[in-house]
């Protein structure tokens, strides 16, 4: 006779699963999947498989903020609602962390928002708005934005 919890666990669906991939190439990623606000006393982690990007998590019913992170990629947090009977399939495409000189708002592109940020900082000593690195934010920093206009992902390829 089996302990009653074993059949229950074997019959229960995997509550959360999916694949983690690179948003640009589509390649699978080894990522860390973290239910925020939950601590694991034994230091357990929930990684995705590097070969296929596949992950799974057994979570009790409830709502969770789940963070997906991988080295060299921008982390993403998704809210999921888990039930006892219906599995959740959540595929994640992580965006590479691109060093994009002049991307002041972190949207991985140089758009109208970035020069407006520079204009608002004119006269400031240094800081991220000092695009050309001459120590003061001025119109030369506006000119330094122009060659990078557009998506930083396209520039990095």
Determine the pLDDT at residue 9. 66
Phi and psi for 114 in degrees, rounded to 5? -70, -45
Between the ranges 68-72, 93-97, 140-144, 151-155, where is the mean pLDDT highest?
A: 68-72
The tokens 């000092």 sit on which residue? 130
Pairing of strands 32-35, 62-69: antiparallel
pLDDT value for 31: 96
- Residue 101, in any domain of the structure: no
Q: How far is CA 53 from the centre of its chain?
A: 14
Instruction: Please give the model's pTM, rounded to 2 decimal places.
Output: 0.61
pLDDT at 99 over 70: no
Please indicate, yes or no, whether residues 76 and 9 belong to a single structural domain of this protein. Answer: yes
Q: How far apart are CA 8 and CA 93, in angstroms?
A: 33
Q: Are residues 90 and 22 in the same domain?
A: yes
Tell me: pLDDT of 18 over 60: yes
pLDDT confidence of residue 84 = 83
- At 20 the pLDDT is 96
C-alpha closest to that of 15 among 78, 70, 64: 64
Q: Per the domain annotation, does 140 fall within a domain?
A: yes
Same domain, 86 and 114: no
Contact 63, 79 (CB under 8 A): yes
Does residue 28 fall inside a structural domain? Answer: yes
Percent of the chain as helix, strand, coil, to the nearest 5: 20, 30, 50
Residue 123 shares a structural domain with residue 78: no
> Which range of residues forms the domain containing residue 142?
109-156
* Residues 120, 130, 96, 72, CA torsion sign: negative
Which pLDDT value is given to residue 26? 87
At 41-84, the pLDDT tens digits run 787 778 898 899 999 988 888 999 999 999 988 899 999 999 88
CATH number of the domain bearing residue 80: 2.60.40.1120
Residue 124 · residue 50 · CB < 8 Å: no
Whether the pLDDT of residue 157 is over 60: the answer is no
Q: What is the pLDDT of residue 6?
A: 73
d(CA 86, CA 13): 7
Matching residue, tokens 């006269």: 123
Statement to judge: residues 21 and 72 lie in one domain: yes
Domains in the chain, number: 2
């Amino acid at each position: 006779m089996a302990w009653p919890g074993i059949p229950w666990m074997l019959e229960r669906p995997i509550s959360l699963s999916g694949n983690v991939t690179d948003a640009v190439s589509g390649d699978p990623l080894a990522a860390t999947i973290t239910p925020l606000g939950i601590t694991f006393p034994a230091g357990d982690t929930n990684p995705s498989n590097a070969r296929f990007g596949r992950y799974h998590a057994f979570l009790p019913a409830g709502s969770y903020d789940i963070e997906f992170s991988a080295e060299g990629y921008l982390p993403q947090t998704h809210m999921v609602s888990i039930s006892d009977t219906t599995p959740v399939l959540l595929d994640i495409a992580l965006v590479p962390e691109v060093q994009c000189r002049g991307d002041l708002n972190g949207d991985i592109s140089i758009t109208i928002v970035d020069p407006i940020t520079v204009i608002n900082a004119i006269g400031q000593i240094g800081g991220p708005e000092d695009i050309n690195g001459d120590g003061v934010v001025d119109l030369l920093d506006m000119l330094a934005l122009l060659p990078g206009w557009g998506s930083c992902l396209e520039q990095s390829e």
